[in-house]
Every structure is written in structure tokens, then in C-alpha cells.
């Protein structure tokens, strides 16, 4: 069986991929994640997912490499990882009472294959008071998450609804699409 590599150092993606019970290693992709001028959030997620997989695959010939990227889209504008408390509070204030679309792309690059899929997750954020935002940020500290919320923990309390056909996409790796791409690469998760 060829090596399976996750082109990511994200602990969230590692945890998700481990659900498939396939042995894999992780390699940090060296990819500039800066958006191109005028690049839409969905296009940015797709470009970065494929670039991450290709960069790592080039250094590991014969491997099956998974790359993924997520971009939060608020009214057509990309919202990145906040990096700190003040930026996270500002993001949550902007998202309060609005819909945010999380564009999560996954790519698999393997011998004879370079394929990409994208999952879209629509999230309705409830109206948030400054006190609720502060309480949440102190509790979860989601400074490494696009959109400043961890739906897999207390961040779920910020939301009114989540709509997706691939639910793990919101956490950062759409596993339904990942399984389909792995099968195309000749790796059956249930074998």
C-alpha cells in the first residue's frame, strides 16, 4: 500500500483523518496562503488545497497525499483565522445574526491522479451580545479557527443552524468527499 500523507499540521484535520483508521503521516506543506487579488473564498480554498497536496506529493513520489483548506465566507469576503482575542471578538461581532458559508476543499494527489472536491457548509450565527462573545472566547480560545468558532465544542452555542451534506467539513476536512477521493486513488477505507 502506498504511503498516505496528510499535507497539514492542523490537529483538527489529523483528528478527523484518524477516524478512518488508516495509517498516515503528516507533512507541513510550504504554501503561501495569501489570496490572489479578487479571488473568491471558494476558489481560494480549492487552490490552496490542491497546492498543499501537490507540494507534498512532489517531495514524496508514489504517496497518496491529501491537502485541505477552509475559508470562511461572510458576504463574499474571506474571513481567516483570527490569531488573537481582539480579532476573534471583531469577527464574531461581524458574524452576529448573519449567515457564514464555510468553503472547505479537499484534494488528493497520487500517481495518475490530481482531484479536488469542495464542501459548502452554511452556518447561521445567532445574535450575539458582547458578553456572550467574551464568555465564549475566554472558554474556547478559538484563535486558530477560521471564523473564530469551534463547532465541535462550545462554539455550537453561537449557532442557530448548520447545513451541509458533509458535516465534518465544518471542522476542516470533509470526510465523505475525502473517502471518495481516496477510493479514486485506489485506497478503500473499508478494506
Q: What is the mean pLDDT of residues 58-73?
A: 97
Helix 175-184 crosses helix 11-18 at what angle (to 10 degrees)? 70
Is the confidence at residue 125, as pLDDT, over 90?
yes
Domain boundaries, the chain: 4-184
Catalytic residue among 69, 73, 140, 166: 69
Span 59-80, mean pLDDT? 95
Is 165 one of the catalytic residues?
no
**Which pLDDT value is given to residue 186?**
96
Q: What is the DSSP letter of 96?
A: T
The mean pLDDT of 28-54, rounded to a whole number, is 96
In this prediction, residue 80 has a pLDDT band, given cuts at 50, 70 and 90, of confident
Say if CB 106 and CB 68 are below 8 A apart: yes
Lowest mean pLDDT among 25-29, 103-107, 147-151: 147-151
Quick check: helix, strand or coil at residue 30?
Answer: coil
The pLDDT score that the predictor gives to residue 127 is 98
On whether the 4-184 domain is CATH 3.40.50.300, my answer is no
Amino acid at each position: 500500500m502506498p504511503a498516505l500523507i496528510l499535507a497539514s499540521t492542523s490537529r483538527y484535520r489529523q483528528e478527523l483523518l484518524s477516524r478512518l483508521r488508516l495509517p498516515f503521516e503528516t507533512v507541513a506543506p510550504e504554501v503561501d496562503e495569501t489570496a490572489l487579488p479578487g479571488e473568491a473564498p471558494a476558489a481560494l480554498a480549492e487552490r490552496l488545497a490542491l497546492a498543499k497536496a501537490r507540494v507534498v506529493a512532489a517531495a514524496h513520489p508514489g504517496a497518496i497525499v491529501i491537502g485541505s483548506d477552509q475559508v470562511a465566507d461572510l458576504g463574499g469576503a474571506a474571513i481567516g483565522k483570527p490569531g488573537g482575542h481582539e480579532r476573534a471578538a471583531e469577527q464574531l461581532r461581524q458574524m452576529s445574526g448573519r449567515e457564514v458559508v464555510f468553503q472547505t476543499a479537499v484534494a488528493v494527489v497520487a500517481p495518475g491522479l490530481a482531484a479536488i472536491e469542495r464542501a459548502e457548509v452554511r452556518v447561521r450565527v445567532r445574535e450575539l451580545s458582547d458578553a456572550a462573545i467574551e464568555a465564549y472566547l475566554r472558554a474556547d480560545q478559538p484563535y486558530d479557527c477560521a471564523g473564530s468558532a469551534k463547532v465541535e465544542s462550545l462554539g455550537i452555542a453561537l449557532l442557530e443552524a448548520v447545513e451541509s451534506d458533509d458535516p465534518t467539513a465544518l471542522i476542516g476536512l470533509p470526510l465523505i468527499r475525502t473517502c471518495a477521493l481516496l477510493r479514486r486513488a485506489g485506497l478503500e477505507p473499508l478494506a
